Amino acid sequence: MKAPAAGLPVPTAERLVLGGALLASLVLVWLATRQPAAVAGFVGGLIGLGALGWMLRPRAEPGEPEYALPDWSVTVAAIDRGDAAVAITDRAGRLVCANPLYEQWFTAQHAPPRLPVDNASLERLAKAARAGWRDGAGQADLIERDHLRWKAAVLRAGRGDDYLVWNFTALSPPDLVGELIPHFEGKLGRALAGAGLTLAIVDPDGKVRAATPGFAARTTGDPAAILTGKDFADLMYQDESDRISWARDGKRGAPLSLFYLPVADPDAAAAPDYDQTPSLILVADNGTGIGGGGGEGGAGAAHLEALLAQLPLGLAMADRDGRLLFANTAFMRAAGRDGEAPPTYPTDLVVQEDKGPISDAVRRFAQGPANSGDIAVRLKGLAEDPVTLSLAGVRGLGEAAVLLGLTDNTEETRLKRQVAQATKMQAVGQLAGGVAHDFNNVLTAILGTCDLMLFRHTPGDSDYDDIQQIRANSNRAASLTRQLLAFSRQQTLRPEVLQLPDVVTDITHMLRRLIGEKILLTVTHDRDLGPVRADPTQLEQVIVNLCVNARDAMLAKSEHGKLTLATRKISAAQVRDMQGGIMPQVDYTALIVQDTGSGIAPENLGKIFEPFFTTKDLGKGTGLGLSTVYGIVKQSGGFIFADSEVGRGTTFSVYLPVHHATKSDTVRPELVEGSSLLSPKPETEWSGGGRILLVEDEDMVRAVAQRALTRAGFEVTTASDGDEGLEIVQRGDPFDMIVSDVVMPAMDGPSMIREVRKLRPAMPVLFMSGYAEEQLRKELDLDNVEFLPKPFSVQQISDKVGAVLAAAKG
């Protein structure tokens, strides 16, 4: 980059410009006036202004140097180095100047940190720039582009710290060959020689760079012989059948197996240039061309096959025509053919659409230089899960030309499906919880309106039955929302420390009537079962839902069946033996529900816990039974799994962690742990009236609640959101109680109550919400508050308000 021209000194240039401007001004004044007096007055004025400016000019303190404007040509000359690229940027990120080496490496069109390098390097440069402006210095240890590598140092400079000086120095590529050579003469070389293996590093021109003592002994007879510079091909012998042996042994030498590996940095951003990369050659003196015939070669082939058969990696060998010569057990297992004989061609393992690409890939890797690569294929019977088939060209193995690798990723695929299923269930659960909240608001208005209408219509009235029908259907819809909340794990649980067999015993009689006389119910329990902590009511719902599903499945198959309920003790060691990786390795108490029904088809087994999914006939199921079970079990900290065989039956296994008692545990607690919001306090009769502030953003819910409370004898003042409710309280209006929604636009209910409590600390509060209290627990972290879930009836809200006031006055 060229610096600005040096030319005249800056002060001299400024004087010339200033003098020219004054002379031009005098000429203009003379031409305009033609009066000497005017010209003299103008000159006098300029002299006065000049004198005033001279007196007011900024002056340097004594001893402080005066700086001239920068001459960048001097800077360019100073940074002209051959060993480092130097660039200077200003605060705007503009390139001020740079030396020739910088222009050669990065060009003058790019200013640091925005250089033509990879993304990781750009991030390191940006971090160094921020450190330079902030701390005065920064550095980036590695900057890469293609095969080039640098390190960068940045320094803040200038009188006002307005510049960054960048210094780039080149890094030499890692000497992988130099790192390997010392190991050849050490333990690695001796260990390989003991196993019948030797190593040599060969340059692209075919010359030996280094070799292990074992390689030197086999080629020359002297382990200390120096082979550097010798032609590798001269040390080997190849016969007409492409079998390779040591040149020192001649035609009678035992066949060898040669494996090539480019000595390249595996972490390099760009692929290595194989024409310029040395090769690491492994020579196995016990190998041979697989399928190459009998004699010594046949014995070597059998030995190599036995070695590959013991490896846990799925490996196979194919000839140039694509025929499989060998495949180990791991390869066949990964291909989904465990226990079967290898097919004639590898293409027999994949779907029709992938046969052509595999054939082309085998032919490509069987010819030319030894390369490797991967191809995605779909196996027969597992077409929905593509797998990776690795191919590598091999030489010196007789008929074998391509090495195939296939990894058994069944477990990985299963885990991926489970993670995807869990993610989907979580998303659906969040959606279900939101839908239930909005639906609860609508149901509150419907139920409340029905109740108010029933006060005006008595049995026998023409509209009475219709209103009752609306109310009954609304209650049924409310039950559906509770099931949605259960699935989304947002319902309110009242956990207790209990024994699972006790819960099963309590409902066994009801289950017998529920499933009917034609189905045999068998109940068994293990001894010494650990206690669990769960809501007994919800556990009963889990058992009932599973038994009802089992009943329907058995009756769909025949008129009879057998239903087995069992509780099992599952130790942490048994969980570890399951090797599922999903359940923590702790003790569990398990509930097993097994039927002899029609079973679940494999394609449906992964969907049974989704809401509204059902295989029953239209009108015979909502699809929420198993989704409710899933939500309750997961919210209780447990796990549920389903195993099914079509035509044989289904087994559901529910695992609940064993609860270890603490001092704070009580049996059948009256409070939900960590909260006093749902205290099941006895409803108390209240007939004293009172002033109520009702805060609700939904107009229809607010209208129903206001009418219900007014009818119960309360004086009600309404507000449409938290801000309006707080303003009413701040005006000083006396209230005996506040009834508020929780989630509202602008200021929500809990935020409003916190502000109200600053004015009225003892104000009783009743929260109402379409969300479950379990979901709102963190937001409702307040003392002396009660909760009323939506939907509620006119009688329920009136009774609840009366009970809260009675408790507050008592």
- Residue 200 pLDDT greater than 80, yes or no: yes
pLDDT digits (tens, 9 = 90+) for 602-648: 888 877 887 667 766 554 555 667 877 888 888 888 999 999 888 88
Q: What's the CA gap between 239 and 443, in Å, rounded?
A: 90
Beta bridge partners of 505: none
What is the number of other CB atoms lying within 10 angstroms of the CB of residue 410? 14
Is the backbone peptide bond immediately before 791 cis, with ω within 30 degrees of 0? yes
Average pLDDT over every residue of 36-46: 72
Tell whether pTM > 0.85.
no
What's the rounded mean pLDDT across residues 159-164?
Answer: 86
How far apart (Å, rounded) are the C-alpha atoms in residues 290 and 302?
Answer: 8
Q: Give whichever of 102-106, 413-417, 432-436, 787-791 has the largest mean pLDDT.
A: 102-106
In whole angstroms, give the CA distance from residue 684 to residue 6. 98
Residue 158 has pLDDT above 70, yes or no: yes
Q: Looking at residues 583-591, what average pLDDT do you find? A: 91
Out of 161-165, 470-474, 509-513, the most confident range is 161-165
Lowest-confidence segment of 339-353, 415-429, 435-449, 601-615 by average pLDDT? 415-429
What is the C-alpha radius of gyration for the chain, rounded to an integer number of angstroms? 43
Residues 163-182, mean pLDDT to the nearest whole number:
76
Q: What percentage of the chain exceeds 90 in pLDDT?
A: 15
* pLDDT at residue 562 greater than cutoff 60: yes
Comparing CA positions, the residue from 352, 346, 303, 353 lying closest to residue 321 is: 346
- The answer to whether residues 15 and 9 touch, using CB atoms and an 8 Å cutoff, is no
pLDDT beyond 80 at 735: yes
Determine the average pLDDT of the residues in 546-566: 87
- CB neighbour list of residue 65: distance below 8 Å, 6 or more residues apart: none
Which residues lie across from 140 on neighbouring strands?
152
Sheet with strand 714-719: strands edge to edge? 714-719, 690-695, 737-741, 765-769, 785-789
Locate 567 and state its tokens: 């509780």
Asked which of 53-62, 93-102, 212-221, 719-728 is least confident by mean pLDDT, the reply is 53-62
pLDDT at 676: 33
| pLDDT digits 0-9 by tens, 750-788 | 889 989 989 988 889 999 887 766 556 566 677 778 888
Q: Is the pLDDT of residue 345 over 90?
A: no
Average pLDDT of the segment spanning 722-750: 89
163 or 12, higher pLDDT = 163
User: How far apart are the C-alpha atoms of 190 and 212, rounded to whole Å?
Assistant: 8
Distances from the Cα of 557 to the Cαs of 3, 34, 547, 644, 786, in angstroms?
A: 92, 123, 15, 14, 50
**Which residues are within 8 A (CB) of 569 and not within 5 positions of it... i.e. 6 or more apart?**
526, 527, 528, 529, 530, 587, 589, 590
Q: Letter for the amino acid at 657?
A: P
Which run of H or of E encompasses 719? strand 714-719
pLDDT at 672 over 60: no
pLDDT at 807: 85
Asked if the model's pLDDT at residue 670 lies above 60, the reply is: no
Band the pLDDT of 339: cuts 50, 70, 90.
confident
Measured from the Cβ of residue 269, the count of other Cβ atoms closer than 10 Å reads: 15
Average pLDDT of the chain is 78
Q: Which class for 734: exposed (0-12), middle (13-18), buried (19 or more C-beta within 10 A)?
A: exposed
d(CA 637, CA 601): 28
Q: Above 90 in pLDDT, residue 592?
A: yes
pLDDT at residue 411, rounded to an integer: 62
Q: DSSP letters along 311-375, please? A: SSSEEEEEETTS-EEEE-HHHHHHTT-TTSPP-SSGGGGB-HHHHHHHHHHHHHHHSSS--EEEE
CA dist 147 to 116, 152, 635, Å?
Answer: 13, 17, 54
Alpha-carbon distance of 454 to 465, in angstroms, equals 10
At 564, which amino acid appears? T
Q: DSSP labels for 655-672?
A: EEEPPPP-TT--SS-SS-
pLDDT in tens, 258-273: 877 777 665 554 555 6
What b/e readout covers 524-533, taking b as 16+ CB neighbours within 10 angstroms? ebeeebbbbb
**What pLDDT, on a 0 to 100 scale, did the predictor assign at position 616?**
64
In the chain, the amino acid numbered 427 is: A
Distance of CA 510 to the CA centre of its chain: 45
Return the pLDDT at 679. Answer: 37
Residue 588: band (very low, low, confident or very high) from pLDDT cuts 50, 70, 90 = very high
Q: Over the stretch 448-457, which tens digit does the pLDDT of each residue have?
A: 888 888 888 8
Q: Are 174 and 202 in contact (CB under 8 A)?
A: no
Spacing of C-alpha 768 from chain mean position: 36
Q: Tens digit of pLDDT for each residue in 370-389? A: 778 888 888 887 777 778 88
Q: Is the pLDDT of residue 23 over 80?
A: no
pLDDT of 287 higher than 50? no
Between the two ends of the chain, the Cα-to-Cα distance in Å is 89
Neighbouring residues of 315: CB distance < 8 A, sequence distance ≥ 6: 308, 327, 328, 330, 331, 403, 404, 405
What burial class does residue 642 get, using C-beta atoms within 10 Å of its C-beta: 0-12 exposed, 13-18 middle, 19+ buried? middle
Specify whether the CB–CB gap between 171 and 149 falls below 8 A. yes
Backbone angles phi, psi at 691, to 5 degrees: -100, 125
Q: What integer pLDDT is reported at residue 5 of this predicted model?
A: 38
Q: Which amino acid is at 643?
A: D
Peptide bond into 312 cis (omega under 30): no
Q: What is the pLDDT of residue 684?
A: 45
Evaluate whether 318 touches 325 at the Cβ level (below 8 Å).
Answer: yes
CA 579 from chain centre, in angstroms, equals 23
The model's pLDDT over 87-123, given as tens digits with 9 standing for 90+, comes to: 999 988 889 889 988 988 888 888 998 999 988 889 9
Burial of 24 (0-12, 13-18, 19+ CB in 10 A): exposed
Count the residues in the chain: 810
Beta bridge partners of 372: 392
Which tens digit of pLDDT belongs to each residue from 703-727? 989 998 998 889 999 999 999 999 9
What is the arithmetic mean of pLDDT over 279-290?
A: 63
Q: Identify residue 465 by its one-letter amino acid code.
A: D
Answer yes or no: is pLDDT of 594 > 90.
yes
3-state secondary structure 759-799: HCCCCCEEEEECCCCCCCCCCCCCCCEEEEECCCCHHHHHH
DSSP-derived letter for residue 536 is H
| pLDDT score, position 410 | 61
Cα distances from 74 to residues 5, 85, 163, 655, in angstroms, run: 10, 17, 16, 79
Residue 9 scores a pLDDT above 50: no
Looking at residue 772, its pLDDT comes to 62
pLDDT of residue 295: 39
Q: What is the pLDDT of residues 486-531, one digit of tens each?
A: 555 455 566 788 999 999 988 888 888 888 888 899 999 998 899 9
What does the pLDDT look like over 226-239, one tens digit per residue?
Answer: 888 888 888 888 87
Say what the pLDDT of residue 304 is: 58
The pLDDT, as a whole number, for residue 58 is 54
Q: Taking the C-alpha atoms of 592, 597, 602 and 608 in order, what is their torsion angle to the nearest 10 degrees?
A: -60
